[in-house]
Amino acid sequence: MTKYFDSADPKNWISVDIPGVRGSVFHPRNGNAIDIQSLEAVADTANRVLYSHLQSRHPFVDRLIVHGIELQGKYMAKGPPGIIRAKIKDLRVSSGMVISYDAAGNRRMMLLDKEIRLLEELEDNKDQVLVLSLDIDEVSSIDGEVLAYENCSEYFSFVSTEEAKKPRYISIAKGLGGDFWFTDIQRMWRPDHSGIQLLCTYFDQLENVIWDSERHGEPAAMQLLGMDWKLYQAKASCAVTSARCTLSGRSSTSEERIRALRMLYWQLLRSVEESASALMKMLGHEESSIIDAYADVFLPFPEEWKS
DSSP assignment of 61-97: -SSEEEEE--BSSEE-SSSSTTEEE--TTS-EE--EE
Residues 184 and 76 grouped into a single domain: yes
Angle at which helices 229-248 and 254-269 cross, to 10°: 180
254 falls within a domain: yes
Assign 20 a pLDDT band (cuts: 50, 70, 90): very low
182 in the same domain as 196: no
Q: Which residues does 190 contact at the CB level (< 8 Å), separation at least 6?
A: 67, 196, 251
Give me the number of domains the chain comprises.
2
pLDDT at residue 254, as a whole number? 92
Q: Are residues 218 and 287 in the same domain?
A: yes
pLDDT value of position 239: 96
Mean pLDDT score across all residues of the chain:
84
Looking from the CA of 247 toward its CB, the CA atoms found within 13 Å total 30
Chain centroid to Cα 27, Å, comes to 34
Range with lowest mean pLDDT among 8-17, 45-54, 113-122, 179-188:
8-17
Range of the domain at 110: 64-188
Kindly state whether residues 180 and 162 are assigned to the same domain.
Answer: yes
For residue 46, tell me if it sits in a domain: no
What pLDDT score does 15 carry?
A: 54
* Bridge partners (DSSP) listed for residue 111: 97
Q: Which helix (H) or strand (E) holds 4?
A: none
Q: Determine the average pLDDT of the residues in 139-152.
A: 80
| Assigned domain for 43 exists | no
Q: Are residues 184 and 68 in the same domain?
A: yes
Residue 37 confidence (pLDDT) above 80: no
Give the DSSP letter of residue 128: E
- 268 pLDDT band, cuts 50/70/90, is very high
pLDDT of residue 105: 79
Instruction: Show which of 137, 166, 188 is a domain's final residue.
Output: 188
- Look at residue 96 in the predicted model and tell me its pLDDT: 93
pLDDT score, position 22:
55
- Examine the fold and report which residue of 162, 188, 214 is the final residue of a domain before the chain moves on: 188
Angle, CA 262 vertex, CA 260 and CA 263 arms, to 5°:
65
Q: How far from chain centre, in Å, is Cα 120?
A: 25
Q: Mean pLDDT, to the nearest integer, of 241-262?
A: 93
Judge if 155 and 239 occupy the same domain: no
- Return the pLDDT at 152: 80
User: b/e map of 28-52 (b: 16 or more CB within 10 Å)?
Assistant: eeeeeeeeeebeebeebeebbebbe
Q: Which of 154, 188, 222 is where one domain is finished? A: 188
Q: How many CB atoms lie within 10 A of CB 140?
A: 10
Predicted pLDDT of residue 181: 93
Phi, then psi, of 191 in degrees rounded to 5: -60, -25
Would the pLDDT of 4 be above 80?
no
Residue 199 inside a domain? The answer is yes
Give the C-alpha separation, 94 to 86, whole Å. Answer: 12
**Cβ contact 67:99 at 8 Å:** no
**Which of helix, strand or coil describes residue 171?**
strand
Q: Does the residue 57 lie in any domain?
A: no
Tell me: do 195 and 174 sit in the same domain: no
On whether residue 290 sits in a domain, the answer given is yes
Mean pLDDT of all residues in 135-163: 84
Same domain, 184 and 195: no
- Provide the pLDDT for residue 2: 45
Specify the range with the lowest mean pLDDT, choosing from 28-37, 155-164, 295-304.
28-37
Residue 108 and residue 200 in one domain: no
- 129 with 175: CB under 8 angstroms? yes
Q: Is residue 48 part of a domain?
A: no
Say if residue 177 is in the same domain as residue 69.
yes
φ, ψ at 284 (rounded to 5°): 75, 90
Q: Answer yes or no: is pLDDT of 232 > 60.
A: yes
Residue 3 pLDDT: 47
172, 210: one domain: no
Is there a domain that residue 27 lies in?
no
Same domain, 71 and 158: yes
The 10 Å Cβ neighbour count of residue 150 is: 14
pLDDT digits (tens, 9 = 90+) for 158-205: 999 899 988 889 999 999 888 899 999 989 999 999 999 999 999 999
- Report the pLDDT value the prediction gives residue 197, as an integer from 0 to 100: 95
